[in-house]
Amino acid sequence: MATLKQIRRRLTSVRSTQKITRAMKLVAAAKLRRAQENMLRALPYAARLRRMIWDLSQHTDRAMHPLLQVREKEKVLLLVITSDRGLCGAFNSNINRRAERFLRNREEGHREAELALIGRKGRDYFRRRNHPIFQEYMEVLSAPTMDRVSEIGAQVAARFLDGGHDAVYMVYNEFKSAISQRVVVERLLPIEPEWSEEQQQAEQALEGLEFAFEPSPEAVLSAVLPLYVNVRLYFAVLESLAAEMGARMTAMESATKNAGEMIQRLTLQYNKARQASITKEMLEIVSGAEALR
Amino acid sequence: MTIEVVTQDGAKVKDLAVDEVTLPGVLGELSILPGHKPMIIALGIGPMVLRGPFGERWFSLSGGFVEVLGDQVRVLSETCEAAEEVDGDRAKAHLEEVTTRMASMHPGMGEAWKAAEASLKKAETRLRVAATRSASTLH
């Protein structure tokens, strides 16, 4: 049985751990709000751009731009977005496991795959496993800006265009809500013009309309498409950040709860031990007095 | 006709009813009136002017696209600053800085020159846009 002193020491330590986890939860909650705001701000831009690409793809020849062309998949790039810090539950291991599965099963029917890593946790994981790494992009997540992400986008797109990669996928945590994340794998390149149901309906009303492009359809396409790649990448980073904060909040919340339970148990144990020692002392005194009589 | 301006920082103008829109197209300034045929046009750096029941509103715009479809004008831009938002003193300081920087450069420098030219144009546009604000307060 643990001595009173030992129990007391453990109690103090669990209490201070609880203080830390509670503080981390609050910090994560505040950061989550900021990350969500960032996402909301970027959302209309991404949506508009997607719509514009759809309109463009309807009125131009698909073969016109190399970023739209689907090629035989010899070598692909997988962009893995993890977090820089831990203590966020299964957030990173889910991503790393999913990426590993993608590589092992050659999910896209590719022959070779390289990795591009955003976030320290993914880098550490894949470095240890000696997977071929194309690029590591650190110092992105601490302050994600469109400029910084655009540099990554430009580099990835350039490699795609010179034939180094035949397709680019990204795996990241999609932000479903503050308490739930979903790992998704999406194709970044070649670009697939997307449209929603309602856009399609709007489109039908406009059928037969001729669009004018200035300076030329080609010029507009080659300006829009790289931008779209950057915006999608930027949005994935923002989503992953929001998801990370959500995951950390949940993890720290349950850590705080667990610490609370442990404190209760230890307090009970402490009181019992204390009572036992008092009883023991009492018995000793009483029996001592008895013996003197 | 309604206009919407969206940047990476969110919507700057939301479904505003206008009579005329002037935009800095890459091939030169263009004006859009109601009933324009559908088009998608790449935008350069320059002022955007909205005219409507509210009078005239100036914005400093850089890069992006405009899509005209039916009676909807949708602008997608890298940056868009309303005249009220432009910091005139900062734009002036920036203009001076770029001018001195460009004095020691020449067009043969390629990318760097182009980037400097773009910042020069941005600074000029912002000053021009800021000037419309002081003009309107004088009235």
A17-26: per-residue pLDDT in tens?
Answer: 999 999 999 9
Whether A55 and B40 lie within 8 Å, measured CB to CB: yes
Q: Mind listing the domains of chain B with CATH numbers?
A: 1-139 (2.60.15.10)
Which range (A147-161, B65-79, B102-116) has the least confidence? B102-116
Strands B55-62 and B79-82: antiparallel
Nearest to A45 among B26, B38, B76 (CB): B76
Mutation target for B interface from A36, A48, A210: give the one with most B CBs within 10 A.
Answer: A48
**pTM: predicted TM-score of the whole model, two decimal places:** 0.84
Whether A224 and B26 lie within 8 Å, measured CB to CB: no
What ipTM was predicted for this assembly?
Answer: 0.78
A31-43: per-residue pLDDT in tens?
Answer: 999 999 999 888 8
Q: What is the spatial distance between Cα A170 and Cα A156, in angstroms, rounded to a whole number? A: 11
Whether A220 and B26 lie within 8 Å, measured CB to CB: no
A253-277: per-residue pLDDT in tens?
Answer: 999 999 999 999 999 999 999 999 9
State which residue of chain A sits closest to B66, comparing Cα positions.
A52
State which residue of chain B sits closest to A40, comparing Cα positions.
B10
Q: What is the spatial distance between Cα B128 and Cα B24, in angstroms, rounded to a whole number? A: 13
Cβ contacts below 8 Å, chain A against chain B, sum to 67
What pLDDT, on a 0 to 100 scale, did the predictor assign at position A102? 93
- Token reading at A87: 């203590």
Whether A214 and B41 lie within 8 Å, measured CB to CB: yes
Active site residue A88: yes
What tens-digit pLDDT sequence spans chain A (293 residues)? 578 899 999 999 999 999 999 999 999 999 999 999 999 888 888 888 888 888 787 777 767 788 888 888 889 999 999 999 999 999 999 999 999 999 999 988 888 999 999 999 999 999 999 889 999 999 889 888 888 999 999 999 999 999 999 999 999 999 999 889 999 999 999 988 776 666 666 666 666 667 788 888 888 888 888 899 999 999 999 999 999 999 999 999 999 999 999 999 999 999 999 999 999 999 999 999 999 88
Give how far Cα A123 sits from Cα of A101, A110, A136, A168, A262, Å.
Answer: 16, 22, 7, 18, 35
Mutation target for B interface from A41, A43, A45, A146: give the one with most B CBs within 10 A.
Answer: A45
Dihedrals φ, ψ of A114, to 5°? -120, 165
Mutation target for A interface from B73, B76, B79, B80: give the one with most A CBs within 10 A.
Answer: B76
Which ranges of chain B does DSSP label H, i.e. alpha helix? 88-103, 111-138
Strand residues in A190-230 grouped as ranges (E): 212-214
Give the residue, A13 or B86, on which the prediction is more confident: A13
Whether A220 and B41 lie within 8 Å, measured CB to CB: yes
